[in-house]
Amino acid sequence: MKILVLEGSPHKKGSSNTLAEQFIKGAEEAGHNVKVLDVAHMNIHPCQGCDACGMRGSCVQNDDMQIVEQEMRSADMVAFVSPIYYFGMSAQLKLVIDRFYSFNSSISGKGLKTVLIAAAWDSNPKTLGYLKDHYLGICNYLGFEDCGMILGTGCGTASMTRGTAHMDAAYKLGKSI
């Protein structure tokens, strides 16, 4: 299976990418082909809402979203990786999801498998509930099959993250795919 990992943190070696690394290790050991796109550091602009694409055509913007689209089309699974920013995903990841709009009809109902990997400073599980609901709403709308979530509470920094049980959970999630 081809797994596309979309990393949405400005911290290349931060908490969420530390968890993603564990997930990738497990997935690769299980024999999957993993492709990582650090979308937070790619040249991707927000959707302009111009509707020129009609949700099924080319986007008028010529940027790195074309790379994401190409990888999405050939992926069997997408892993969404993000820090928690004000109870939601990072703007860096959200704008990529907004850009799904131009190829919405191609990915909708394709039965794409997905996972969510998120890192928050707070150790209260309620902190991640809002993102969990948002993610599940997107899955429901686009017909994605959720295959698991790593809701990383107490993951304020990469070193804090390495001391949590979320590391092993992320590895096991990858291995179970």
Ligand X SMILES: Cc1cc2nc3c(=O)[nH]c(=O)nc-3n(C[C@H](O)[C@H](O)[C@H](O)COP(=O)(O)O)c2cc1C
CA–CA separation, 145 vs 113, rounded Å? 5
Task: Quote the tokens at residue 52.
Answer: 């020129």
CA angle 157, 132, 65 (to 5 degrees): 80
Place of tokens 């908490």: 15
On whether the CB atoms of residues 112 and 119 are closer than 8 A, the answer is: no
Min dist CB 120 to ligand X, Å, is 3
Contact call for residue 92 and ligand X (CB under 6 A)? no
Task: Quote the tokens at residue 117.
Answer: 């990997």
CA–CA separation, 36 vs 48, rounded Å? 26
Min dist CB 61 to ligand X, Å, is 25
Q: What is the dihedral sign for C-alpha 95, 39, 32, 173?
A: negative
Min dist CB 162 to ligand X, Å, is 12
55: number of Cβ within 10 Å? 13
Min dist CB 165 to ligand X, Å, is 16
Min dist CB 168 to ligand X, Å, is 18
Task: Quote the tokens at residue 27.
Answer: 């997935």
Candidate list 3, 53, 84, 115; residue touching ligand X; CB under 6 A: 84
Candidate list 15, 22, 114, 164; residue touching ligand X; CB under 6 A: 15
Candidate list 4, 6, 16, 96; residue touching ligand X; CB under 6 A: 16
Using the contact rule CB under 6 A, the part of the chain among 15-23, 31-39, 47-55, 102-110 near ligand X is 15-23
Contact call for residue 155 and ligand X (CB under 6 A)? yes
Using the contact rule CB under 6 A, the part of the chain among 45-53, 95-103, 121-129, 142-150 near ligand X is 121-129
Contacts with ligand X by CB under 6 A lie at 9, 11, 14-17, 83-87, 119-122, 127, 155-156
